Amino acid sequence: MIVEDAQHIFEIHVEDFDQWQKRPKKNNFFEIVYVDQGVGFQCINYHQFEYRSGNIFLLPPLDCHWFNIREKSRFYFIRFTDHYFLNNQDEADYKQWFDRMAYILANYNKVPGDIIGTERERDFIIQTIKSIHQEYLVGDTYSKSIITGGMVSILNILARSIEHQYVEQANESDSRFGEILRFINTNISDTDKLRVPYLSDKFGISPTYFSEYFKKQADMSLGEYIMKSKLKLVETKVLHTDLTLKEIAYQLNFTDSSHLSKSFKSAYGMTIKEFKNSGQGCCAK
What confidence tier does 35 reach under pLDDT thresholds 50, 70, 90? very high
How much is the average pLDDT of 160-166?
74
Instruction: Provide the pLDDT for residue 199.
Output: 96
Distance CA 105, CA 62 (A): 12
For residue 239, the model assigns a pLDDT of 77
For 65, phi then psi, to 5°, come to -155, 155
Average pLDDT of the segment spanning 90-108: 60
Q: Which domains does the chain have, with CATH numbers?
A: 2-168 (2.60.120.280), 171-276 (1.10.10.60)
22 confidence band (pLDDT: 50, 70, 90): low
Distances in Å between the Cα of 175 and the Cα atoms of 96, 163, 171, 260 are 28, 15, 5, 33
Across 255-261, average pLDDT:
93
CA distances for 86 relative to 82, 93, 120, 148, 264, angstroms: 7, 8, 29, 11, 27
Report the pLDDT value the prediction gives residue 108, as an integer from 0 to 100. 57
pLDDT at 78: 92
Split at pLDDT 50, 70, 90, the class of 225 is very high
Residue 23 pLDDT > 60: no
Nearest to 234 by CA among 180, 170, 280, 177: 280
pLDDT score recorded for residue 220: 93
Q: Is residue 60 pLDDT above 90, yes or no?
A: no
Determine the pLDDT at residue 277: 79
- Main-chain phi, psi angles of 144, to 5 degrees: -60, -45
Question: Which is nearest to 266 in space by CA: 225, 239, 228?
Answer: 228
pLDDT at 21: 75
pLDDT of residue 92: 47
If one counts every other C-beta atom within 10 angstroms of the C-beta of residue 38, the result is 20
Which pLDDT tens digit goes with each residue over 190-212? 899 999 999 999 999 999 999 99
